[in-house]
Amino acid sequence: MSTERKVAVITGASQGIGEGLVQGYLDRGYQVVANSRSIKPSTSSNILAIAGDIADPAVADRIVSGAVEKFGRIDTLVNNAGIFISKPFTEYTATDFANVLSVNLHGFFHISQRAIRQMLTQGGGHVVNITTTLVNQPVKGVPSVLASLTKGGLDAATRSLAIEYADKNIRVNAVAPGVIKTPMHAPETHAFLAGLHPLGRMGEIQEIVDAVLYLESAAFVTGETLHIDGGAHAGHW
C-alpha cells in the first residue's frame, strides 16, 4: 500500500470518456481505481480494475475498500458512468426509467457517499460529476427528459455538495459535455450530431479529459458546471 501518490476513482471507465479519463489521470501521475460492468483486470500496478454495476451498493463498497487497501487513499472521484436514452416522453418504458435512475442516480449516490466519507478522514478531496449540456439547453430533435431528470439532479447536487463540504476542503464540480465522438455514435450519425453544436462539430474525448483535469488543478473552483459543448448551452442558434 502506497499513500504517497494521489488516487482517482473513475466510474464508467472501460471505454470512451471513461477510458480517456483513466489515461489522463495516469499521465498526471495518479494511481487509478477504474470501474465498469465489463472492465477487464489490468496488468498495471497503477490501476485497480473493479468490475460491477455501480448502482449496487456492494460494488461501491468494493471500490472504496479496494482503493484504500491497495493505494491508501481516495483524492478524486469522477462520476462518469451514465445511461442516455432518447425517446419521446410518452414512449419511455418502466424499464427505461428504472435503468436510467439506477445508473445515473443510484450509482452516483452510493459511490459518492462512500468516497466523501473517505475524503473526510484524509482532510480533503474532489468530486467531478459528468452531466450533459441538455440539462440547460434541451434540443427539439433530441428528446431527453430522463437525462434532464437524472443528470439535472447531479447538476443541482454538485452545487449543494460544494457548499456542504467547502469548509472540509472537499471540492465538487461538474462537466457538462455536448455530443462527444465516442464508439457509441455510429459514423453515419456524425454529421447530424455535429450540427447540434454552434461550433459545427462533435467534441473529442480529450476535450472532456482536459476539462476534468483543469478542474483538478483549479483549487479555487467549487460548485462549478463547466460546459464543453461547442457553445450549445448558450442558447438557440
* C-alpha to C-alpha distance for 106 and 62, rounded to whole angstroms: 16
Cell of 131: 452531466
Q: Which residues of the chain have pLDDT under 70?
A: 1-3
Cell of 21: 479519463
Contact 203, 180 (CB under 8 A): yes
Contact 84, 99 (CB under 8 A): no
User: At the top level of CATH, which class does the domain 7-229 belong to?
Assistant: alpha beta
Cell of 65: 475498500
pLDDT of residue 141: 86
Comparing C-alpha atoms, which of 40, 61, 149 is closest to residue 104?
Answer: 149
% the chain with pLDDT above 70? 99
Cell of 115: 468516497
Comparing C-alpha atoms, which of 222, 61, 14 is closest to residue 127?
Answer: 222
* C-alpha to C-alpha distance for 204 and 214, rounded to whole angstroms: 16
| Long-range contacts of 37-40, Cβ-Cβ distance < 8 Å, separation of 24 or more | 38/14, 39/13, 39/14, 40/14
pLDDT of residue 3: 53
Domain spans, the chain:
7-229
Contact 223, 156 (CB under 8 A): no
Alpha helices by DSSP H, listed for the chain, are 16-27, 57-71, 94-101, 108-122, 145-165, 190-194, 205-217
pLDDT of residue 236: 79
Count how many Cα atoms sit within 13 Å of the Cα of residue 88 in the half-sphere of its side chain: 2
pLDDT of residue 184: 83
Q: What residues does 32 pair with on adjacent strands? A: 8, 47
* C-alpha to C-alpha distance for 48 and 67, rounded to whole angstroms: 7
Length of the chain: 237
CA 110, 50, 44: angle at the middle one, nearest 5? Answer: 140
Contact 165, 194 (CB under 8 A): no
pLDDT of residue 112: 98
Condensed to tens digits (0 to 9), the pLDDT of residues 63-91 reads 999 999 999 999 999 999 999 999 999 99
